[in-house]
Amino acid sequence: MFGLDVRGDGRKKAPWMRALLLFLLVFVAEPASGIQLAVMPLEDLSKGDNGLNPAMTDRLCEALGRKGYTVAEEKRIIDFMAKNRIRWVGRLDSHHVLRLRQELGIDYILLGSVNQVREKEPAALGLSLQIIRASDAKIVWAGGAQLCRADVRKFLGLAEPRNLTEIEDIVVARAMEILPHGLPEIPEGSTGNLAEEIHLTPEVVKPGETMRCRIRFSESNMEQPGMAVSVVVDEKVVEAVYLAQEQCYEAAWPAAGKDGRYPVSVSVNRGQPDRKTIFAGSFLVDGRPPEIVLSLRGQELDGEVVLRRQLMISPVLKEPEPIATWEISILDASGQIVKAENGRGNLPGRFSWWGQRQDGVMAEDGLYTVQVAVWDRAGNNAAVSENFLVLRKRPELNIVTEKHGDKVQVDLGYDGKVPLAFWRVELRSGSGAILQEASGEKLPARLMVPFSGESDKISCHVHGQDVLGNKVRQVVDNIIALKSREDKTADQADEKGMGENGWSVDF
């Protein structure tokens, strides 16, 4: 006679203890023996429309295997999806649910969504799951698990999750705790394709908008006498009516006012003893517009962003969600659009604008606005805008001369809005010899050069650049021919015409 030693001290246990341990081994360690459970690829809403989270899918499969469930091989599920052209995740219509039972012998299906992923502090993860019985496409269980690192602060930080990976471990463990302990086996005779097609639209809707569910049966496209078809949504029953022209049943109802995901089931009654319920799918009610944060990166001047060569535009959603369409516009000070682009699908993480208008011509200097608008899958709209400046005008230095006996006084000045980064000036004789040179960062500046007579020729070469990178090169062939300070004061109009008196500009 053999005894069972669980403490290692050699003492034998009583028969009732052995029976209890055998019960635990059979009914706790193997809660789902002989039952095939298919884990569908998990949807990840943080990755946009139809986002996929294969790592979390693998974690769930491993955890279910340790819990004792018989999990269908991943390759079989992927091959099934490819064969049946299933190109979405997070949901499965009743037709494909029943086909999983018929083709792969699946008893139950686990569908799930990763609702939130946040890697930066405080890290967070949200997970929602539901189990569908494959024989009749009925939801038999639904639940979820979530965790934010800020919710598990402990004294001295002991045993706290340190990163997103450890939070994922805890969320998966919590999900395993709330899963049903055992799933009953399904009799072989319980399979059957009750409906040929169930079409639930739209997938995402605003509160109060109309939802529709159409059901077409496989055995006949005609209305069946005495058959009642209804749709169950959030414990409310909506009767379906037969549409003779479309040869199907249709139920319509207003979407609930509270945001969230709602499962939909179809109930078919051909007589009181013959009522069947199948899972039709689920829809999402979303009444909250997306929240956008817009940042512009470029050269800054007095706290304002300025376009230098290119403007970096970065729109970010505060809460990641799939986006249906987006639009970005550049508007001038009068509100006219000078450049615009739009697209479908998720919002790009960054845009670049090089200062060109829609027709390819460079935009003039002035105040502009970037506006980004997005529409989510339910049609909720949000827009955000930021102002910036375009300043490409070259810095222009003022040159004024004044004769003092045998010398010429040359005054350099600058009154532009954008500060200078540097300047350099060379005064040369008629033969090209350098008489004097100077450089600096600020103006005004004064130079004195020798002057022997009106026959002398002195040229002035000026190079400069402002803090935005705009460059200038100015050449005066003969500063002796320039008007004096007194002449300029008397005739300000001549200052604007200095280019006709020997200026040469090279950008």
Longest dimension (CA), the chain: 132
490 vs 119, more confident: 119
Residues 182, 51 share a domain: yes
Give all strands of the β-sheet with 204-205 in edge-to-edge order.
204-205, 275-285, 260-269, 228-233, 236-239
What's the CATH code of the domain at 320?
A: 2.60.40.2550
Compute CA distances 456 → 247, 484, 499, whole Å: 103, 16, 21
Residues 466, 485 share a domain: yes
Which residues are within 8 A (CB) of 187 and not within 5 positions of it... i.e. 6 or more apart? none
**Mean pLDDT, rounded, for 119-133:** 85
Q: Is residue 9 part of a domain?
A: no
pLDDT band at 18 (very low <50, low <70, confident <90, very high): very low
Classify residue 338 by its DSSP letter. E
Residues 179, 53 share a domain: yes
What's the CATH code of the domain at 204?
A: 2.60.40.10
pLDDT digits (tens, 9 = 90+) for 25-83: 333 444 445 688 999 999 888 777 678 888 889 999 999 888 888 899 999 999 988 88
Q: Which of these ranges, 157-161, 279-283, 310-314, has the smallest mean pLDDT?
A: 157-161
Residue 410, beta-bridge partner list: 401, 447
Strand ranges for 98-235 from DSSP E? 108-118, 124-133, 138-148, 195-201, 204-205, 210-217, 228-233
187 vs 453, more confident: 453
Tokens of residue 190, six digits: 């319980």
Can you give the pLDDT at residue 405? 79
Residues 273, 166 share a domain: no
Which residues are within 8 A (CB) of 74 and not within 5 positions of it... i.e. 6 or more apart? 39, 57, 58, 61
Instruction: Please say if the pLDDT value at position 241 is more than 90.
Output: yes
Among 239, 259, 285, where does a domain finish?
285
Q: Is residue 13 part of a domain?
A: no
Residues 460, 437 share a domain: yes
Q: Is residue 15 part of a domain?
A: no
Q: Is residue 4 part of a domain?
A: no
Can you give the pLDDT at residue 67? 85
Residues 370, 404 share a domain: no
pLDDT band at 375 (very low <50, low <70, confident <90, very high): very high
Cα separation of 311 and 325, whole Å? 23
Most confident of 177-191, 241-255, 297-311, 413-427: 241-255
What length is written for the chain?
507
Among 264, 285, 306, where does a domain finish?
285
Residues 212, 184 share a domain: no
200 vs 279, more confident: 200
Cα separation of 48 and 324, whole Å? 10
Q: Which domain holds residue 501?
A: 398-505
What's the CATH code of the domain at 96?
A: 3.40.50.10610
Residues 162, 270 share a domain: no
- Mean residue pLDDT of the chain comes to 79
Give me the number of domains the chain comprises. Answer: 4
pLDDT digits (tens, 9 = 90+) for 201-231: 898 999 999 999 998 876 554 566 678 899 9
Among 188, 220, 237, where does a domain finish?
188
Q: Is residue 21 part of a domain?
A: no
Q: Is residue 207 part of a domain?
A: yes
pLDDT digits (tens, 9 = 90+) for 459-472: 888 888 888 888 88
**Phi and psi (nearest 5°) for 299?**
-65, 145
Assess contact for 51 and 44: CB atoms under 8 A. Answer: yes
Assess contact for 479 and 449: CB atoms under 8 A. Answer: no
Annotate 138-177 with three-state secondary structure.
Answer: EEEEEEEEEEEHHHHCCHHHCCCCCCHHHHHHHHHHHHHH
Cα separation of 355 and 364, whole Å? 9
Residues 151, 43 share a domain: yes
Can you give the pLDDT at residue 394? 82
Residues 169, 215 share a domain: no
Q: Is residue 20 part of a domain?
A: no
Q: Is residue 100 part of a domain?
A: yes
Residues 131, 35 share a domain: yes
Residues 39, 177 share a domain: yes
